[in-house]
Structures are given as structure tokens and as C-alpha cells.
Structure 1
Amino acid sequence: MTEWLQVFDHRGNPLDVKERTEVHFEGDWHETFQCWLYEMDADGQLYLFFQKRAADKAEFPSLYDISAAGHIEAGENIMQAGMREIDEELGISLWKEDLKSIGTYKEVLISDTLKDRELCRVYLSPYSAEKAFSLGKEVEDLVRVEINGFKQVLGGAKGSIEASSVIDNQKVRVGFRDFVPHDQAYYEFVIQAILEEVEKL
């Protein structure tokens, strides 16, 4: 099915509606919804949740990425897109009140197959163990990673850290190259917002 996206200029002003493949080929700015799940356990350890992209994904197959994310299609509002993506990828339902907006992050990802310029509408949501995840076909796993360890991997102080599957409790070691290559500043933006959020608890 053809996916149509609203494209924007670099200031965020809407322009045309284009087909997704064309948007990624030409490098047009477009909107995405991104939701990061996080958790503070009983010992005060803070965790970030990553989905493992399916091996047959066209871009960044088998790499760890944002908990749930996807394009905001032309005519959709952010919440409509967000609820759809969370349900499709993780198989859970969240309410608008479960999501905390932390703003828009402009990110550029260039690879051999695409020029991806995104206006990322980024949200946080606290993880609930009561939710029964049912992963969609585009997602191979959902894991949690301790935030301080992840920061050390980003900074090069550690080569790898433990990731624990929410689905089957299996543990794996993951390193820098196992994650989608978002800007380091993007990851820092998300982590700082989570730290500020948990300080309110």
C-alpha cells in the first residue's frame, strides 16, 4: 500500500504531499512519531527500552532502535499516528495521557539506501509490566538497557552492555554498532528528558 507523507521546508512549513519512497530518495523533511519507554526499578536503576528491528527491514535490519516509531502519514495528527504505531509494533494500547511530549528533534540519517530528514515528534512513556506485549512483524524483540551503561557505550567508555528481553527474558550483549546510528546529540536529548521526568517522581 502506498504511504503518503506531508513534506516540509527546513523551517517546518508544510509543502507538498509525496509518496514515502520519493521522500526518502529526495531527502525531504517529513514528520515521524517516536515513543521511548523507560522504567525506574525498585533499586532506583533507570532503564531505556529498545525494539530490535526485523531482519527483513529495508533500513537498519536487526539493529536496536526507538521503542516504537513511525511516519506520520498525510492527514494524520500526531496522536493518531502514535497510537497506530504503538499498537502495530508493540501490540499494546496507550492513552494520550500516557504520553509525555518532549518536543521536536530535527534529525538527518543518510545511508546507501535513503536520505532521511525527519522532524521527530518525540514522546516518553513509563513502562508498565502489566502490559502484555505482542510484537508486530516489523519488530523482532523488545529489550531494556540500563541508561548509565548505554551512555558509557555511546561515549566509548564501554564496549558493550547487557540487554534483557521483555518478551522471553533472554540476555544478550550489545555494543555501539548494534544500535541504529542516531545522532549522539539525539540520544542525549532523550536521556536528559527522561532524567528530568523521573526527578519529578
Structure 2
Amino acid sequence: MEIFDIIDENGNPTGKTVTREKAHTDGIPHRTAHIWIIRKKDGRVQVLLQKRSMNKDSFPGKFDTSSAGHIQAGDEPQESAIRELHEELGIQASPDQLEFAGTFPISFEKEFHGKMFRDEEIAFVYIYDQPVDISKLVLQKEEVEAVEWFDFEETCEECRKNRDKFCVPSGGFEVVKKYLERQNQQIKE
């Protein structure tokens, strides 16, 4: 059974915990780690997205963030990010290979598989820009059906229009855009 820290509006643990099921049945605030795998190709930024397994409790079969998962009670966001990358994609990242980009809130209520799913979370976003050969990834089949590289800007627009194919949270795109803008600014300086 997965246990999460209940968080305050700033994403800080309150000292109380909740089960995954209760968190999503009642919409109790908790934390997640989102890892965006990015690369530059032909002068454009690309993002690796995962296609969610059809048995997922939310957004089955849709393309989502490179890797993401709940932060277990007592864990820190970065250690969760490292664990999720390894579990879902087989990538063994070190702490210095993950760059913290920021946080954003996720809040929605939607029916999946005949029951309501309520999500209230703060996502901690990390960037992984090391070389990735997708043919060598070890996908966690219960979670991930496939992975594919997408153009970042085109996908950002596509996600706004086509929610049938994508379920990437728009807040994640905004955090990554700001990260990329900071990177470009540092290069110019």
C-alpha cells in the first residue's frame, strides 16, 4: 500500500499521511516528482514522452511526462525522481544529473474505469538532459507502454488542443519553458 505525506498549500509535508487510494478518492493534497527528459536536435528542443499503460488508474494509453510518480511518505522529491526514472525507464541517474526546474499545482476531477479520480498535488519538476537511446530503455510494462521523442514547442501546442492523445500537464510545460529560457539567458551572458 502506498502512503503519501499530506501537504500544505506550499507543498510542505504537514506531518500527516494518507493512502494513495484515499488521496485520489477524496482529493487530498500530496506531492509528485516529474522528470522531463529533453535533448536538442537540429536546433530544436525535443522531449521524451511515455505512453501510459492501458491499466493505469488515470489517463490510460495517453502520452505523458517522460517519467513521473508519487513521492512516498518520508521521501524527498529528488530521491523519488531518481527512483521513478530507474523503475519506469531503466535510467540510473545520479543526483547531479537531475536539475530542479520548479513546481506547479495539479488539480482535477475526472472519471476513469467507472470511478471518480480526484487529484490535488504539487509536482516537483526535474530536467534530465543526458543522452538517451530509447532502444536501450527498460520500460516498466505495468506503467509504460512505449516512449517517443516529440518536438517540445509543437507538443506544447498539441497538448492544448488534443487531449485524446496527450495528458501532459500544461503546468509542466510552463515550468520547463521557464527553465529553457533561463538556460538560454545564461548562454547569452
TM range (shorter): 0.7 to 0.9
For the Cα contact (< 8 Å) 2:33–2:80, is it kept in 1?
A: yes
Provide the residue aligned with 2:178 in structure 1. 192
Superimposed CA distance per residue, residues 47-101 of structure 1 (whole angstroms, 9 cap, x where no aligned partner):
0111000011111100000101001101112222111111110011001111110
Q: Tell me the amino acid that sits aligned with residue 64 of structure 1.
A: F
Q: CA deviation at 1:150?
A: 1.6
Quote the sequence identity (%): 27
TM-score (norm 1): 0.81
Pair 1:153-2:158 in alignment: yes
> In structure 2, do the counterparts of structure 1 residues 11 and 47 end up closer, same or farther at CA, with 3 Å as the change threshold?
closer
TM-score (norm 2): 0.86
Name which of 117, 121, 133 aligns with 1:118.
121
For the Cα contact (< 8 Å) 1:38–1:194, is it kept in 2?
A: no
Moved segments of 4+, more than 4 Å = 198-201
> In structure 2, do the counterparts of structure 1 residues 71 and 45 end up closer, same or farther at CA, with 3 Å as the change threshold?
same
> In structure 2, do the counterparts of structure 1 residues 77 and 122 end up closer, same or farther at CA, with 3 Å as the change threshold?
same
> In structure 2, do the counterparts of structure 1 residues 109 and 190 end up closer, same or farther at CA, with 3 Å as the change threshold?
farther
For the Cα contact (< 8 Å) 2:99–2:126, is it kept in 1?
A: yes
| C-alpha distance in 2 between matches for 1:66 and 1:130 | 17
> In structure 2, do the counterparts of structure 1 residues 196 and 65 end up closer, same or farther at CA, with 3 Å as the change threshold?
same
> In structure 2, do the counterparts of structure 1 residues 104 and 139 end up closer, same or farther at CA, with 3 Å as the change threshold?
same
Q: CA deviation at 1:46?
A: 1.3
Provide the residue aligned with 1:136 in structure 2. 140
Superimposed CA distance per residue, residues 85-139 of structure 1 (whole angstroms, 9 cap, x where no aligned partner):
1111001100111111012211212212211111111111114135731101210
Q: CA deviation at 1:152?
A: 3.3
Number of residue pairs matched by the alignment: 180
| C-alpha distance in 2 between matches for 1:147 and 1:104 | 19
| C-alpha distance in 2 between matches for 1:154 and 1:36 | 15
Gap regions ≥5 residues in structure 1: 157-174
| C-alpha distance in 1 between matches for 2:12 and 2:133 | 40
Q: Which has the higher contact order (CA 8 A, sep 6+)?
A: 2
